Structures are given as structure tokens and as C-alpha cells.
A and B are shown apart, each in its own frame.
Chain A
């Protein structure tokens, strides 16, 4: 209560080492204020909200209300968010200077038998990966354990053989949530079959797509879930050592992950003799130094080993020849976070959710020109329109939907006529995009699609490692051509050359970054070719974004 702290609200990084605790509660709390402490709300001052509410309740002598730090509540656009789970009320935009309305409500709030029907943003979601997000204190392992945390791991190591765990994951039909959608069970089985030891389990937390923050939110809100998934995977494939490769730009996720590893070791869920069994598994954290390409698995492994983060040709695949030449299992954050629920409830339960060849749920980060920017989890196969208009709340300020960008720099832009499509791996690929890790950037009629393509090409150009020629020089050349188009000085021959180069970069690049770098260009050319032509033939930008030149084309 008497802690000295700076007056200016700071970013997500924690400002003091000792955490202020909530007000003392006598007996069972009548109501709880769950204050979101994920990066979005924190940067809007939610840590101050926590302290002001606590101070207010203490000074008013209230002893039957708890105040709790929780992870991401999802509706990031309206932060800082405070939820009273007993009544199902959500307070939005709570300002640290003005918490009296919230405190007044807390003083009288009573648990209600039937909670009010929630708005579509919450009602239409199905939460598996995010089931604890916004419910538990991410830095409190007891909170996680109280919600069946680590029971999947205990079940796996005490009641199941490694093969049974793999069978369960195979039965679930889950596919890798990192982007490519490789069947998770198959990947695990491949690593499990390798004879060489030691084996490694790696968690790819190098999330870097512009507009994507799924992995960050999961790590900030429920870090133990990822560790549990990794430990189950390690048991299944026979690994004894794991690495979480997290980007250093996520200081809060790193801090909570560190704390989670420490507490899980103390509680016997990591380390030697897990849950009393002979199984041992140690996890170490490795921080990325800001290179997008390190999300590519071979570059990621090079970086973990202390080398320069550049991809190497596959095969050999990491499953056979990974970290230090040993068999290595690499999955992303969301994949591991799905595993505890699969082991707990069974693969069949998981495969009953979703559609066709895309089972389960997918976490998406809604960003851009959309009312409800935030984090959502929906069953696979949901219509794109439902995600953007029902859950996302549509376009703000009366704007008109133009396109949604999925899959980041490796993905594509989907136009209005595809709003009825189902969100699954196959449909997205057929539409010229990819599932990717789950970023969704919504654009309205104020966005120029050529400029969008140029933006992503600029991103790929900057993030290319520079090893192979098609990616290193090809992305730069494509960027120069796109710049020419946005400046209104391009010719139809330039457009032809752009397509030719795109085909070459896609076909000959070494790794996924280069192979998919032309995707934003191809998808915008496919659905918005008229905008390219307007820039070239009419020297006009239909969206009024580009400063097109009135000069004659340069020969």
C-alpha cells in the first residue's frame, strides 16, 4: 500500500518487483474484480486500476470483495477491462483516476443464478486454448491447478503410455497452429520413432506477423498451459529437454514464462520425477533478437544453438536432425496450449469441434478497421462474415468492408465476395491466403490494396535473412516495382514483370519466408487487379491513399 511508484503510466513492462496484493478478504468473497493484466490493458493503465480499486476498497473498509489480476479478457479495444464474474458484468475503459463506479458496484454486487446473455463477441466464441484467459492469475500456479491445470500431464505420465498420448493427439485431428497446418499427431509420431537420443521439444513463440498477438496473449495469460502441453509432448516423444523460443519484444510474456517455469519446477510439474513418475523434463527459455525469419524452424534452431538465424534446406527435417543434430519436435504456442485439454477430455471430444479436415478451435487476433479489436477463439469452419461482423462488430465509423488480411506476410487479402467462406485450412489456401498463426487485419475503403501489398513486401524485404538470392534480391525488386505503381509511374510491363518475379521468388526461394513472400501481391492482384490498373493506366489511387504522380511514365 505504501509502495513508492512512478506517476507516469508505463508500457507493459513491470515497474516494481514486489507485487501489490489485493485487499484482505474475510471468509468467502461476495464479489471479485478481475482486472486484466495483459499487455493491451496494462499499457492503458490497468495495473493502476488494480491498485486504485484495492486502495479504495481498503479505505472504505470493505472486506468481502476480492481484487484479482487476470490474463487477457479478449476485448482489447475497450481496455482497461474489469470483469465481475459473479454477475457477468464487464466494465470497459476503466480509468485509474475514476474507479468509483466500479467500486460502488463491487460493494453491492451479488452472485446471480443466471447471468445476463452476453454480446456476440463473447457468446459466439468456443474457448479451449483461451479457457483460462481472463479467469486465472497468470502468475499464480494454484489458480491454474484449481482449473484442472496439470491434470492432463499427470494423467499422461501416470495412466498413459507415450504411444497412447500420441494416439489421442492423432485422434483429435489437430493440425499445427503455426501456419502450415501439418498434422500434429503425425509429427509427434515421427519424432517418437527416432532412435537417437537425446531428443528435444521446442516451443516456437517467435510470433512476428504484423497485427498478430495470439501467442503473446496466451503466454501472458496462461503460461502454465503451454508448459503443460510441452511436458506432455516431451513424454510422448521421449524428450528430456525443452526450449521455449520467445521473442525478446514480449517482455511481459517472458517474465511470466520465467516465473511459470520456476514455480512449475518447485511444484514438481517440471524437472525430475514429474508428478511422482520417473519422467523428467527440463525447460529453458531462449530469447529471439528481433528477426522474423527465426520463426522458420531451421533458423529458430540455429538461433537456439547460438548461431546466426538463417534457414537451411530441408530435408533433413528437425524431426530427424534438429537441435545439435538430435531429433527435435517443434510446435507453436497455440498447438501446445491445445494439448492439455485433448489429453484431459480425449481426442474424440476435440475432433467433434470444427469442420472437415480442420478440427478444434482457432485463436484469431482481430485488428485494423474493426470495432472489437481483440483476441477471440472460434471453432474451425466458422464463416468469415460471422467472425468479422458478429464477433468483430463490423467496421467502425460507418466504413465499408473491403478486405481482410489473414496469415501475415505469408498470407493474402480476402475480399467481400469471400465473406461467406468457411475458415479452415483448405478454403483459405484455395482463396490464395493461408490460416497462418491467426492474425486478421481488417481493412475498409480507406485502404489501398496496392499499398497494402507494398507494405508486406517491404516487411519481407527487411526481414529476409539475405542468404538466398531470390528472397534477398527478389523481394527488393518487387518492392521497387510496387513503389513505382503506387507512385503512378509504372507501366503494364512493370506489372507483368512483377508477376514474373513473384513466380520466380515463390518457386526458387530457400525457406517459407521467401516462398510465401509474393502471396500478398498475388492475392491482391487476384481480387483487386482493377486497383493496380487504376494506378497504372489512370494514374489514380481509388482509395486516395497513394500520392500518385502526374508525370508521364518513365520509359
Chain B
């Protein structure tokens, strides 16, 4: 495997040709904020939090889907990027109903963590406040669409790891929603295996297990080591 040398925030790094900028940055202790990325799942470059500046490219590139190349010179935390990231997180907050104080995932939420890291202290943008459903028809789990940020981790884990493809996306733009099967209630889904992986990967309080605090469903993430080893198996 070809090894490339590159500079990330001035640090000389080495990465193999099939690695992404995000992977190499994290190996070298450089933190790039992400939301839709999860180790072990395919990257889709949707949340745009991980966009970085690459010298010689007029466009910002998502670190999660950009393959490393020789002599790349990357800036991951310029004031401009941090400002964009703050706005992106702010936009997620105003898109649906994210009131941390009354959320099941308070203090166990990746959206909340990103906001704190990026220093998002208040919201300037207008709240959209759409009226969204809660689907609690499944006997063990429930989804509150008001807390969903459309990262589609649930869709990917269900398809790529569980192989059930119960979850998918319907609708367009701001009206897009994750759905079970063809929009039927989760509890009636004939494809759902009730494995709970979607609940475990959800970065916010959108997917949760009934009667259990989010802290306990998300703390261990017991199958993540498996996901990780699966990814490493692919690399070897």
C-alpha cells in the first residue's frame, strides 16, 4: 500500500492511500468535529462539519470522504471554518426542536457536545419549529423526529451492519424524514429485527429505548468494537 506524507495543521503526517484525511488527522491527535461520521459505517459527507481547507483547492473538502494524497497541505481549524461549523450546528438546533434541558439525551448528546466545543452560546437564526411525530409503536424503542438531525447513521447501520434496511429516508429538503420500511409505524415493520443498533448509534435523543436512560444505552456501545474490527478487517 502506498504511503503518502502530508501536512495537517502544520504537523507532518503519514497516511496510506486508502485512508481519509479524517482518519489520518485523528491518528495524529488532531480533532476534526463530525456528526454523521461513525467509525465502522460508510462515510457520506452529509453534515459538512468536517470540511477542511486544502491548499490548492478552491473548494472546502469534507475530511471524512477525502482520500489523502501526497504533499497535501491541510488546515482544519481556521477561524473561517470554525465560524461555518458554528453556523452549521446552529442551523441544526433551529431546524427542529432541540431543547437540551428537557431532552432524554441531555449530557449524552453529540449535537450538544459539538455546540459546546464550538462555543455556540446562543441562536441567532429563526426557529423553524415543524410539528413532527413521535413513533412509539415499537415495543422496545421509539423515535422522536423532533430530535433527529438526519445524520442517517440509523439508516446506514441497519443496512450495512444488520442487513435489514428497515430505515430509509423519505421526502426532500427540510421535509426529509427517516422512515421505517415504506413509512409504516415502526412497531408494524416486518423487516425490523429489534436489534437496537439504530438506537445505539443515534447521536441525539431521537432514537431511544423505552424505560432506559439514554446514558445506559449509549455509554457502552457494545457493538462498536465489532464495527471497528470489521473496518480493520477491511483494511488488512
Contacts and interface: CB of A to CB of B under 8 A. Distances in A.
Interface stretch (A231-239, A351-359, A384-392, A461-469): A461-469
A533 interface: no
13 contacts: A312-B45, A462-B173, A468-B48, A472-B150, A473-B95, A473-B174, A476-B95, A477-B91, A500-B87, A504-B84, A507-B51, A508-B84, A510-B46
A208 to B, nearest CB: 13
A431 interface: no
B60 interface: yes
A461 B172 CA distance: 9
A509 B48 contact: yes
B60 A508 contact: yes
Interface in A468-511: 468-477, 480-481, 497, 500-501, 504, 507-510
Contact of A469 (B46, B65, B83, B175): B46
B168 A308 contact: yes
Contacts, number: 100
A477 B44 contact: no
Nearest to A467: B46
B173 A508 contact: no
Given A462-B172, A475-B173, A510-B48, 7 more contacts: A310-B169, A468-B48, A469-B149, A477-B125, A477-B126, A504-B87, A507-B59
A435 B34 CA distance: 36
Interface in B76-115: 83-84, 87-88, 91-92, 94-95
A466 B48 contact: no
Contacts of A472: 95, 150, 173-174, 176
Contact of B174 (A461, A500, A504): A461
A264 interface: no
Contacts of A308: 168-169
A549 to B, nearest CB: 17
A312 B173 contact: no
B214 interface: no
A291 interface: yes
Contacts of B62: 313, 510
Which 9 pairs, one residue from A and one from B, show the smallest C-beta to C-beta distance? A466-B176, A464-B173, A473-B91, A313-B45, A313-B65, A508-B48, A476-B174, A466-B173, A473-B95
Interface residues of A, number: 35
A474 B126 contact: no
Given A477-B126, A497-B124, A508-B88, A469 B47 contact: yes
A425 B174 CA distance: 33
Contacts of B150: 466-467, 469, 472
B145 to A, nearest CB: 13
Contacts of A507: 51, 59-60, 84
A468 B47 contact: yes
Given A473-B94, A473-B95, A507-B84, A464 B172 contact: yes
B128 interface: yes
Contacts of B87: 500-501, 504
Contacts of A312: 44-45
Contacts of A291: 172
A293 B60 CA distance: 21
A473 B60 CA distance: 19
Contacts of A477: 91, 94, 125-126
Q: Which of A315, A497, A504 has the most B CB atoms < 10 Å from its CB?
A: A504
B91 A474 contact: yes
Nearest to A515: B59
Interface string A444-467: 000000000000000001111111
Contacts of A463: 172-173
A544 to B, nearest CB: 27
A463 B168 CA distance: 19
Nearest to A311: B45
Given A473-B95, A480-B126, A508-B60, A467 B174 contact: no
Interface string B157-168: 000000000001
Interface in B25-51: 44-48, 51
Contact of B91 (A313, A462, A469, A515): A469
Nearest to B170: A308
B92 to A, nearest CB: 6
Contacts of B125: 477, 497
Contacts of B92: 469, 473
Interface in A425-441: none
A466 B155 CA distance: 14
A470 B49 CA distance: 10
Nearest to B95: A473
Contact of B128 (A315, A468, A476): A476
Nearest to B85: A508
Given A308-B169, A313-B62, A476-B128, A470 B174 contact: no
A470 B48 contact: yes
B233 interface: no
A81 B129 CA distance: 52
Contacts of A461: 173-174
A436 B171 CA distance: 27
Contacts of B168: 308
A466 B45 contact: no
A468 B43 CA distance: 13
Interface in A265-308: 291, 293, 308
Q: Which of B62, B124, B173 has the most A CB atoms < 10 Å from its CB?
A: B173
Contacts of B83: 504
A463 B175 CA distance: 11
A467 B172 CA distance: 8
A312 B62 CA distance: 11
B82 to A, nearest CB: 12
Given A308-B168, A464-B174, A473-B174, A510 B45 contact: yes
A186 B51 CA distance: 29
A315 B62 CA distance: 11
